[in-house]
Structure 1
Amino acid sequence: MYGTGRTAVHSGPPRPHPYGALPRQPRIPKGTGEARRYLAVGLDCYLCLLAVGLLVHSCLGSAGAGRTAAVLLGHLLVLSFANQVLLTMAVRASAGKLIMGVRVIRLPDAGRPEFRRLVLRWLYGLFWLPLQPWHHLRRTAAAEPPPRERLGGGPPAAPCVDLAGVRQVHRSDLRYYRAAVEGHRG
Structure 2
Amino acid sequence: MPGRAERPAPGTPPRAGETRRYLAVGLDCYLCLVTAGLLVRPYAESAAVPEVAGLLIGPVLVLSFLNHVVLTAVVGAGAGKLIMGIRVVSLPDVGRPGPWQLVRRWLYGLCWLPLQPWYGLRARLPASGGSDGPGRRAEGAAYGDPVGLRQVLRTDLAAHRRAAAGRAG
- The TM-score normalised by the length of structure 1 is 0.75
Unaligned runs of 5+ in 2: 1-9, 132-136
Deviates more, 1:78-87 or 1:176-185: 176-185
CA–CA separation in structure 2 for the residues paired with 1:105 and 1:130: 24
Q: Quick one: percent identity of the two aligned structures?
A: 55
CA–CA separation in structure 2 for the residues paired with 1:67 and 1:133: 26
Residue matched to 1:58 = 42
Residue matched to 2:24 = 40
Contact 1:149–1:157 at 8 Å: present in 2 too? no
Residue matched to 1:90 = 74
Equivalent positions of 1:88-167 (< 5 A) are 88-138=72-122, 140-141=124-125, 143-144=127-128, 146-147=130-131, 149-150=138-139, 158=143, 161-167=144-150
1:180 correspondence with 2:163: yes
Q: How far is the alpha carbon of 1:176 from its aligned partner?
A: 1.0
1:72 correspondence with 2:56: yes
The 1:139–1:63 alpha-carbon spacing in structure 2 relative to 1, beyond 3 Å, is same
CA–CA separation in structure 1 for the residues paired with 2:142 and 2:82: 27
Contact 2:122–2:128 at 8 Å: present in 1 too? no
CA–CA separation in structure 2 for the residues paired with 1:157 and 1:77: 27
Residue matched to 1:4 = none
Residue matched to 1:23 = none
Unaligned runs of 5+ in 1: 1-25
What is the CA deviation profile of residues 65-109 of structure 1, one whole-angstrom value per residue up to 9, with x for unaligned ones? Answer: 554333210000000000000000001100000000000000000
Root-mean-square deviation (Å): 2.1
CA–CA separation in structure 1 for the residues paired with 2:94 and 2:122: 37
Higher Cα Rg, which structure: 1
Q: Give the total of aligned pairs.
A: 155
